[in-house]
Amino acid sequence: MALKIKYKEVEFGVGDKIRVVQKIAEADGKSRESIFEGMVIGIKGRSPGKTFTVRRIAEGGIGVERIFPLELPSLERIVVVKQGTSGVKRAKLYYTRKKSPTEVEMIFKKAAIRMKSGEKKENKSSRKTG
Separation CA 15–CA 38 (nearest Å): 10
What is the pLDDT, as a whole number, of residue 103? 87
pTM: 0.82
23 and 31 in contact (C-beta within 8 Å)?
yes
Handedness of CA 93, 38, 63, 51 (dihedral sign): negative
**CATH code for the domain of 85:** 2.30.30.790
Q: Which residues of the chain have pLDDT under 70?
A: 1, 119-130
pLDDT for residue 51 = 94
pLDDT value of residue 56: 92
Instruction: Give me the pLDDT at residue 43, please.
Output: 93
pLDDT given at position 108? 86
Total of domains in the chain = 1
Whole-number pLDDT of residue 2: 77
User: Residue 51 sits in which domain range?
Assistant: 4-126
